[in-house]
Amino acid sequence: MAYREVTMIEVKEVLRQWLSGQSRKAMGRWVGLDRNTIRRYILVAQQCGLHAADGVDVLTDEKMSDVLAALGTGPGRPRGEGWAICEQHRETIARLIEKRIRLTKVRKLLLRQGIDVSYPTLHRFAYSELGFGKRRLTIPVADCGPGEELQLDTGRMGSLEPDETGKRRRFKAFLFTSVLTRHRFVYPVFTEQTADAIFACEVAWKYFGGIFRVVIPDNTKAIVNIADPLDPGLNITFQEYAQNRGFFIDPTRVRAPRDKGRVERAVQSTRDDCFAGEKFKTLEEARCRAREWCTTEYGMHRHTRTQRMPLEHFSAEEKGCLLPAPTDAYEVPLRATPKVHRDQHAAVAKAIYSLPRDFVGKTLEAVATRTTVRFYENRVLVKVHPRKPPGGRSTDPADFPAEQAALALRDLDFLKRRAAQHGEAVGRFADALLEGPLPWTRMRRVYALLGLCRRYGSARVQEACAEALGFGLADVKRLARALKNGPVPPVTMGTNRVIPLARYLRPPSQYALPMVPRGEKPPDKGDAP
């Protein structure tokens, strides 16, 4: 025979008729219960202090509760052998369940140890004795004041229509729900980045007409870097945005949907009611549909909890309590962690910027806006540059030593001034070196000239330059050779030397050939005497 559960009303009706003097047979026909069942209810009622002669007035709610409690503590259905096995290995089963192991896996582990228990018996034992699968009791949190809390969640909503290549692009949405009035705003996006979250908030403030004081997001990476129930690590870009707009961030705990219960179930209902069955070619069409749905459909539908229409409720009690809506557009800064290279430059957004020599080899934090790029070390500002386009370069001469800055910036005037400090002739020699087209191609010659001044002294180089310029010479190598060889000794004009007569001078007669004056013909050999 099939088992049928008897309700509390039926039990009360049996006892009421019994106290009224009805027979068990008549009660069976009236209530539709077996006489044995009626006999058991009457026996339990007598054990609880009720008697047939007392009348119906003694059947109070307290007596009825006692009878129902006694009926519930009966022996019930006897447990089988599998239940006894589970009782014997209670500690093992409890330890596996505490480790968050699935119950089907628990049964497999028990079989490996030779413990054979059917899964239904194991499930009933774990559910009734160990609390497996039971939901914890929750207490609804009281609503906040008007304009105080706004819950934020994200989720996938649908896909756009196929493009010319036949591909469909999925889109997500940021969902904003007021804790007090349940008024909602939906903003579809393609990606879930920090910039998307900031832009969605900006559009939401315009839609609501103000800013809520506290935003309660889930642990999306666009807002929360490190999820922690006590000290979460917030995304510094979004935190800076919250400080600029004047609201606080209170992230939920991990895997705790009750922390944002006002918006948790909104993802599914929004996807089904707002976007399901719709056809969108662009993301802008999806955004227009979401705004229309929030205003005309969801906003004008009576909420089951508040029994008021969210849009009307929000306009009447909450809109006037919000912080003022922003009037200027917020610029999302670009953050990077560049390394300062040996050339004392760091790259940000494909442009390079100079840093002082002390930061070479270090990794700094860079914050780039539309107009400036700021560099920080341990949150201390160290340098500010004007923003350059990709491929651009911003170099501050103060970051480099004077000589290196002049070479890097091709500062010819600096080299001329340095040369003139060693003497007027040295300055003119440097000017002569830099004359002509493309003077920066001859900057190394001026550096070599300054090196000669350090090596030989300014006075000696001044004299050599003056002498070289006198001959129209402007060659650093020849000037260096002249300085290396030293100065040429001056030539002095002395008196004429008198050459004395030779001591061993012989007369012409002693020579074999006669000496003939120049221009005369020598005599023939036959004419000799």
pLDDT tens for 205-225 read 999 999 999 999 988 999 999
Total of domains in the chain: 5
Query: Is 143 within the bounds of a domain?
Result: no
Radius of gyration of the CA atoms of the chain, in A = 52
Q: Is the per-residue pLDDT at 474 higher than 50?
A: yes
Q: Does 425 lie in the same domain as 413?
A: yes
Residue 499 lies in a domain: no
CB 48 within 8 A of CB 15: no
How crowded is residue 327: how many other Cβ atoms within 10 Å of its Cβ?
5
Cβ-Cβ contacts under 8 Å for 283 (sequence gap 6 or more): 160, 171, 188, 189, 190
Q: Are 176 and 185 in contact (CB under 8 A)?
A: yes
Per-residue pLDDT tens over the stretch 320-359: 999 999 999 999 999 999 999 998 999 999 999 999 989 9
Last residue of a domain, one of 343, 370, 399: 399
Tokens of 413: 């005037």
Helix (H, G, I), strand (E, B) or coil at 489: coil
Question: Which has the higher per-residue pLDDT, 430 or 394?
Answer: 394
pLDDT, tens digit, 9 for 90 and up, residues 237-280: 999 999 999 999 999 988 887 788 888 888 899 999 999 999 99
Q: To the nearest whole number, what is the mean pLDDT of the chain?
A: 86
Of the residues 399, 416, 432, which one is the last residue of a structural domain? 399
Range of the domain at 129: 96-133
CA distance 462 to 468: 10
Report the CATH number that the domain containing residue 289 is assigned in CATH. 3.30.420.10
pLDDT > 80? residue 203: yes
Same domain, yes or no, for 189 and 241?
yes
Lowest mean pLDDT among 234-238, 444-448, 504-508: 504-508
194 and 268 together in one domain? yes
The reply to whether 297 and 183 lie within a common domain is yes
At 470 the pLDDT is 80
Q: Is residue 292 part of a domain?
A: yes
Does 257 reside within a domain?
yes
pTM to 2 decimal places: 0.63
Inter-helix orientation angle 443-456/424-433, to 10°: 150
In this predicted structure, what is the pLDDT of residue 416? 81
Is the pLDDT confidence value at 458 over 60?
yes
β-strand partners of 373:
368, 385
In a 13 Å sphere around the CA of 39, the CA atoms on its Cβ side amount to 4
In a domain, residue 87? The reply is no
Distances 204 to 77, 201, 237, 309, 322 between C-alpha atoms, Å: 59, 5, 18, 19, 12
Residue 1, pLDDT > 50, answer no
Average pLDDT over residues 64-88: 78
pLDDT at 77: 62
Looking at the fold, whether 164 and 120 belong to one and the same domain comes out as no
Mean pLDDT of the 82-95 span = 92
Whether residue 501 is contained in a domain is answered as: no
33 within some domain: yes
CB 61 within 8 A of CB 70: no
For the residues 29-47, what does the mean pLDDT come to? 84
Q: How far apart are the first and last CA of the chain?
A: 189
Chain CA centroid to CA 5, Å? 59
Same domain? For 23 and 154 the reply is no
Q: Are residues 183 and 279 in the same domain?
A: yes
Residue 385 has pLDDT above 60, yes or no: yes
The edge-to-edge listing of strands for the beta sheet with 170-178 is: 184-189, 170-178, 149-159, 214-217, 248-249
Q: What is the pLDDT of residue 503?
A: 61
Region of 378 (left: φ > 0; alpha: ψ -120 to 50; beta: rest) is left
Whether 165 and 288 map to the same domain: the answer is: yes
Of 299-313, 352-366, 433-447, 486-500, the one with minimum mean pLDDT is 486-500
In percent, how much of the chain has pLDDT > 70? Answer: 88
Residue 315's alpha-carbon distances to 270, 309, 320, 493, 504, in angstroms, are 21, 10, 8, 116, 142
Residues 288 and 209 occupy one common structural domain: yes
258 and 115 share a domain? no
Does any domain span residue 496? no
Looking at the structure, do residues 155 and 285 belong to the same domain, yes or no? yes
Q: Which whole number is the average pLDDT over 91-110?
A: 91
Domain boundary pick from 290, 321, 352: 321
Residues 107 and 238 in one domain: no
